[in-house]
């Protein structure tokens, strides 16, 4: 079950609307809020957090997330989930140790590219949504040139003590079958030393099948 949930982090087809519709904020305020989100993303050099990943059926797994600029991220799952999702700065890799499977995607083909490439102009592919709460910032992003890469909705809380005044709370990804994957973060920490070896993985495939 969670094998497919994790894949939603990597490549999600075009999202379909589900549940309540949240309208964008007025156009005049879009640039200011997107600018704040951009400053936050650029100011985070390293980040570590606990996460809970939940699918539409309410099934959840826990783990720990590590992020390091440029372009590195790792999702280490609890012991009962024998897989890992990791980016080494060039590609996102999904490793399933139970079936000895490795799948790789360019970072730009993933909804997570929003978090991993803070230098791209958010105003070209993201919209700020009106949640009705001043303490919360929510953006919806999709590459207009490649909608097949998926749609991601990211939530931040305003936090003066956090980088750029925002704290990343989590995100959701919707796929073309209306499946929903939600990542909620907790215990977020910034600025720690994270070795590059964190973003490597053990390849479970036989050597003669590796590429």
User: In sequence order, what are the residues at sequence separation of 6 or more whose Cβ sits closer than 8 angstroms to the Cβ of residue 134?
Assistant: 158
Residue 116: which of 176, 69, 173, 156 has the closest Cα?
69
Q: Please state whether the predicted TM-score (pTM) of the whole model is above 0.95.
A: no
The pLDDT of residue 177 is 66
Separation of alpha carbons 123 and 74, rounded Å? 27
User: In sequence order, what are the residues at sequence separation of 6 or more whose Cβ sits closer than 8 angstroms to the Cβ of residue 46?
Assistant: 66, 67, 68, 69, 190, 191, 192, 193, 194
pLDDT tens-digit map of 25-51: 777 789 999 999 999 999 999 999 999
pLDDT tens-digit map of 157-211: 999 999 999 999 999 987 666 778 999 999 999 999 999 999 999 999 887 565 5
* Residues 2-13+23-185, CATH architecture: Clam (2.50)
All structural domains of the chain with their residue ranges: 2-13+23-185
Residue 46: which of 85, 73, 9, 84 has the closest Cα?
73
Average pLDDT, the chain: 86
């Amino acid at each position: 079950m969670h094998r497919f949930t994790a894949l939603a982090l990597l490549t999600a087809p075009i999202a379909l609307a589900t549940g309540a519709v949240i309208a964008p904020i007025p156009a005049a305020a879009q640039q200011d809020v997107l600018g704040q989100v951009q400053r936050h993303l650029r100011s985070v050099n390293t980040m570590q957090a606990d996460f809970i990943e939940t699918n539409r059926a309410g099934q959840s797994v826990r783990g720990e997330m590590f992020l390091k600029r440029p372009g590195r991220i790792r999702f280490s799952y609890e012991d009962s989930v024998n897989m890992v999702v990791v980016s080494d700065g060039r590609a996102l890799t999904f490793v399933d140790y139970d079936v000895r499977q490795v799948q790789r995607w360019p970072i730009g083909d993933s909804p997570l590219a929003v978090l991993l490439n803070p230098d791209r102009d958010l105003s070209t592919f993201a919209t700020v949504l009106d949640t009705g709460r001043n303490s919360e910032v929510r953006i919806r992003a999709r590459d207009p040139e490649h909608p097949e890469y998926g749609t991601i909705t990211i939530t931040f809380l305003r936090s003066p003590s956090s980088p750029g005044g925002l704290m990343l709370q989590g995100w959701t990804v919707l796929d073309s079958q209306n499946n929903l994957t939600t990542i909620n973060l907790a215990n977020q920490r910034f600025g720690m030393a994270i070795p590059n070896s964190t973003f490597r993985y053990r390849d479970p495939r036989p050597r003669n099948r590796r590429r």
